[in-house]
Amino acid sequence: MNYTVFRVWGIPIRVHVSLLVFVPVLVWLIGSGEQLAAYEVVINATTPATVDAASLSDADRWLIGALAAVGLFASVTVHELGHAWVAMRYDIEVESITLWILGGLASLTEMPREWNREFWIAVAGPIASLLVGAACIGALVVVPESATVAVFAIGLLGVMNVSLVAFNMLPAFPMDGGRVLRAVLARNRSYVSATRTAARAGTLFAILFIFLGVVVTFSPILVLVALFIYVSATSESRAVVLGDLLSGLTVTDLLEPRGSVPVDATVETVFARLLAARRTDLPVVDENGAIVGAITATALRDVGPAEYETTTVGDVTTTDLPRIDAETSAFDALQTLQRSRSDVGFVVRDGEPVGLVSRADFAAALELRRDTTAF
């Protein structure tokens, strides 16, 4: 569940409920004495400031934890806005930016296949984080060391932003470094091949992170990051392959003669129609021949054999199907079915259903393309 908190350049900045749960935990992690002692060493070694965690009161510790936690996710927002700014320069729409337990996600309407565009969109986030980190470290030159809480919080944000850049630039697709890897690979090979290689690298890093998070040091967050990388890399690689296999096809190309069944026919007559058409779904038409829904093998499971003669097709017709324009690309249509969690959808032309398209139609097209295409 996401909540829109404000907008930047018209882009809704959303907070996922997982972040609301995680922030208090992050405040506690940062504000604990052991963590601040570790941060003290890093801040003193890498910034102009000199801090002493032992001199902090309990109230100071929790205040620093709260400021650093909020500041961290403000920094993540700036990081994602870096991606968004470059994407918009390439006329790519940014639907939203979502902050969640593992950081932030800028949702683009499309990911460009031109290697140079993906490269600059990917590195824009880390560059924004570097600028924030540099600004924080630079601020320590002018902030008086007597302002202990401010110095500690600003120093922490400087270190965190630089660390965020270092982590994000690991070639673990689909993190920023992984997208940079794909962009570089795509200069000299196909986009599909580059994606597959980058996805394999992401999978290897996911395994490494799980090992580190379980065996070396107990870190649930690192394990969650690993799972996110693995699932995202696998999903995006699959989507790219599907998109390539279905390229050039529209929904109209997938339409096949199905026949139809009248809305007042009995279920008993439907089985013969399904067998004759070798389908698991058929359009249902009214008395005027207009398509009003679909009858599916799944819906027929709910009808007992004793009710076949008394149950009409209209009683078990599915009417709330996704509507897909006939000129929609096959890949976008498949995405529509997946988002709606439906096995079948209406194909619409001029606002009126003209047929059905199902996952089986896509499977047949993919099998044919897979057998005739070499990557």
Residue 264 has, within 13 A of its CA and on its CB side, a CA count of: 4
Residue 334 has, within 13 A of its CA and on its CB side, a CA count of: 23
3-state secondary structure of 172: coil
Give the C-alpha separation, 366 to 363, whole Å: 5
**Cα end-to-end distance, the chain, whole Å:** 39
Which of 94, 103, 96 lies closest to 3 in space, CA to CA? 96
Cβ-proximal residues to 145 (8 Å cutoff; 6+ apart), any chain: 49, 50, 51, 151
Give the C-alpha separation, 230 to 232, whole Å: 6
Which of 285, 310, 305, 308 lies closest to 295 in space, CA to CA? 285
Give the C-alpha separation, 115 to 123, whole Å: 12
Binding site residue list for Zn(2+):
79, 83, 176
Ordered alpha helix ranges (H), the chain:
17-31, 33-46, 58-89, 115-139, 148-168, 176-185, 191-211, 220-245, 251-254, 267-277, 297-300, 313-316, 330-340, 359-372
Give the C-alpha separation, 150 to 156, whole Å: 10
Active-site residue list: 80
Amino acid at residue number 116: N
Tokens found for residue 262: 């009248």
Give the C-alpha separation, 39 to 135, whole Å: 18
Establish whether the linkage from the previous residue to 24 is cis, with ω within 30° of 0.
no
What count of other Cβ atoms lies within 10 Å of the Cβ of residue 45?
8
